Amino acid sequence: MAVASLRTHLIEELTDLLDAENQLTRALPKMAAAATTKTLKSAFEKHLQETRGQINRLNKALRHLGERPRRRTCEGMQGLLAEGESVMKKTPEGALRDAVMITSAQKVEHYEMASYGTARTYAQVLGEPDVARLLDQNLKEEKAADGKLTAIAERSVNHDAAEEWQSRPEDEGKLIRGAVWLGGAVGSASRELGRAARRAAGINGCRRRSRRTPSQRT
Ligand SMILES: [Fe+2]
């Protein structure tokens, strides 16, 4: 369909979003299954339910505009999900993989937020308040899902992922551990040197003070 008007553009965007949400219903169960953190797993499962509701609203919005919902591949979502899956497969199970999935999921949420936000505004400008309301409901759910992912990341996943290397058995983990040990040893030697220098300075100070007359000391 050629983009001949803002109305046509809105219909194209909704058609695109419909496919984006359908792609997400296939990706979210895999992400929930791959998640280690319980809150993240349940966030993905909850968003899967919400996504199904969002598909219903998009179908309603298209019908309201007199369009029969049709399928067309959303290349934006396809790219985001393919990239996310590729990184996920290369990451070992645990908090780090959870962090990787949060990154992908938040990219997806922001893509959807931009799409719903603009589409809702077009619907308002075109005098379609019912369509705008449906899109606004989806937008609010996407924002809430994004906020929940941020909270999960900040509450535990980011910290756990940063700490996780300490228990990693691979060579990479050993190398990092060795580098950190070396850094710690250098730091400790440097602190000890500092203490020795301060002790020496303290002794000299005492000697200097001891040269004072009793009247100077009082
Ligand atoms: Fe969505």
Q: Any residues with CB less than 8 A from the CB of 55 and at least 6 apart, and which?
A: 18, 21, 22, 25
Q: How confident is the model at residue 213 (pLDDT cuts 50, 70, 90)?
A: very low
CA 92 to ligand 1 center in whole angstroms: 27
pLDDT of residue 216: 39
Domain ranges in the chain are: 6-167, 171-217
Closest CA to 132 of 122, 141, 120, 142: 120
CA 112 to ligand 1 center in whole angstroms: 6
Residue 31 structure tokens = 């992400």
Mean pLDDT over each residue of the chain, to the nearest integer: 85
47-90 per-position pLDDT tens digit:
999 999 999 999 999 999 999 988 899 999 999 999 999 999 99
pLDDT of residue 3: 78
CA 71 to ligand 1 center in whole angstroms: 16
CA 32 to ligand 1 center in whole angstroms: 16
Question: Is domain 6-167 annotated with CATH 2.40.40.20?
Answer: no
Query: Alpha-carbon distance 177 to 166, whole Å?
Result: 7
In the predicted structure, residue 30 carries a pLDDT above the cut 90: yes
172-209 per-position pLDDT tens digit:
555 544 444 554 455 555 556 556 656 655 544 434 44
Query: Alpha-carbon distance 25 to 155, whole Å?
Result: 26
CA 94 to ligand 1 center in whole angstroms: 25
What pTM value is reported for the model? 0.76
Residue 82 structure tokens = 């393919």
Q: Which amino acid is at 147?
A: G
- Contact present, 121 and 137 (Cβ < 8 Å): no
In the predicted structure, residue 10 carries a pLDDT above the cut 90: yes
CA 172 to ligand 1 center in whole angstroms: 37
Q: Which residues surround ligand 1, an ion (CB under 5 A)?
A: 51, 54, 112
CA 218 to ligand 1 center in whole angstroms: 79
Q: How confident is the model at residue 211 (pLDDT cuts 50, 70, 90)?
A: very low
In the predicted structure, residue 160 carries a pLDDT above the cut 70: yes
Q: How many CB atoms lie within 10 A of CB 99?
A: 21
